[in-house]
Amino acid sequence: MEGTPTLVMLSGADEYVPPRVLEAAHDIAARLAGAMGPSAKGMVVPNARHALDGAQEAGIAAMVEFIQGRNALPPCTQILEVVL
């Protein structure tokens, strides 16, 4: 996937994911993105349930930022909070 822009987006409150996995979501997203190469970015959408339920606007805003190439996404160790 190296060279292919890829956004690894995880839901921060996914009800189908065990709590211990959610606690490591930032690390998981960062590791997945790292394995995909330098054009991949990882992020966690806080308060988003499965399929971004409850945080669709934040997820969509992050996708738009990524697609437009603004490179505004923070490192995966930080929490992205989008205010619309």
**In this prediction, what percent of the chain has a pLDDT beyond 90?**
67
What is the pLDDT at residue 69?
A: 82
Q: Are strands 6-11 and 40-45 parallel, antiparallel or unpaired?
A: parallel
What is the pLDDT at residue 73?
A: 55
Whether this prediction's pTM lies above 0.85 is answered by no
Mean pLDDT of the chain: 84
Assign 68 a pLDDT band (cuts: 50, 70, 90). confident
Summarised one tens digit per residue, pLDDT across range 28-48 is 999 999 999 998 999 999 999
Q: Is the dihedral of CA 4, 30, 78, 44 positive or negative?
A: positive
